[in-house]
Amino acid sequence: PSRVGWLTVGWNAPFMLGLIAIVVIFAMVFGSFIMGGGKFDIIAHAAPHEVMCIMGAAVGAFMLGNKGEVVKATLKDLKKVFAGPKWKAQDYKDLLSLLFTILKLVRTKGMIALEQHIENPEQSSIFQQYPKIMHDHFAVEFICDTLRMITMNFEDPHQLEDVMEKILEKHHHEAAMPQHAVQSMADGIPALGIVAAVLGVIKTMSSISAPVEILGGMIGGALVGTFLGVFFAYGFIGPMANKLGQVYDQDHQFYLIIKGILVSHLQGNAPQISVEIGRGSVPTKMQPSFKEMEELLQNLPAAT
């Protein structure tokens, strides 16, 4: 992995795509300006002050408009813009294998044999085979809590599905708060660019008796604020919010697969059928083939 500022990301496809996108944005915008005869020295002279005004106010407004945990989560999740979704192809195979092992144990030995695994998942021989899933506390709790409800004779598939759906909606809403916060920041930055431009105009008006050449440079510098506000909002912050939304949606699919498989089990389907239903919900790029999954499940160790 490579360290970019405080972010640690790998040289993976999402990171490379993001890096190329940034280069393209700067090259096309400023390249076209220079090729059209624009003088870059005006932008270079005004940019530091304008960026300080716009981005400083944007960060302050971001902190003022969001709870502390949202600010903290946003700083943590910004790396996902370059790192991509949390769950990879192998993780989906692991999830299907984990749930197949659990459901097979229930089918062959009953719910009593499962209690030791769902009550102490950290010590479970089943969960310990999949450390990445184990480190996702919500995934483990979601699986175990649902199975606990089943052991309490909560066996109506429709009621259980409704309960699981509400749990997932709450989790997705809370997980996606950073995306909404970043999008709000993007929506406000163009207006802050206008604020910076107005301050530049006020500065210009105080020097109205200066020669035309100087006034022209000052007005040009003031307009840099408007330019940078729109440039940052639609060239960077807005796309970053959109990318975060896509990542959250794909990661959420991981938990929807859990729901689908457990509901299928409660409807009386065999473990193989339930897992196949879950496999069909895996994102296409990550989805294992039917034959690949069949061979994987056949070679799984028996639950102890």
Measure CA 298 to chain center: 34
How many separate helices (H) and strands (E) can be counted in the chain? 14, 2
Q: Is residue 9 helix, strand or coil? A: strand
3-state SS record for 152-215: CCCCCHHHHHHHHHHHHHHHHHHHCHHHHHHHHHHHHHHHHHHHHHHHHHHHHHCCCCCCHHHH
Q: Residues 78, 59: contact at Cβ < 8 Å? A: no
Residue 71, C-beta contacts closer than 8 angstroms, at least 6 positions apart: 62, 63, 181
Read off the pLDDT band of 100 (50, 70, 90): very high
Mean pLDDT confidence for 138-148? 94
Q: Residues 250, 287: contact at Cβ < 8 Å? A: no
Read off the pLDDT band of 150 (50, 70, 90): confident
pTM of the full structure:
0.85
Query: What integer pLDDT is reported at residue 127 of this predicted model?
Result: 94
Read off the pLDDT band of 68 (50, 70, 90): very high
Query: What integer pLDDT is reported at residue 265 of this predicted model?
Result: 92
Half-sphere exposure of 278 (CA within 13 A, CB side): 30
Read off the pLDDT band of 227 (50, 70, 90): very high
Reply yes or no on whether the pLDDT at 5 is more than 50: no
Mean pLDDT confidence for 22-51? 90
* Residue 259 or 218, more confident: 259
Q: 270-290, pLDDT tens digit by residue?
A: 999 999 999 999 999 999 999
Cα separation, 101 vs 130, whole angstroms: 12
Cα separation, 40 vs 43, whole angstroms: 5
Encoded tokens for 98: 């984990």
Read off the pLDDT band of 11 (50, 70, 90): low
Dihedral angle computed from the Cα positions of residues 231, 36, 224 and 15, in that order, rounded to the nearest 10 degrees? 30
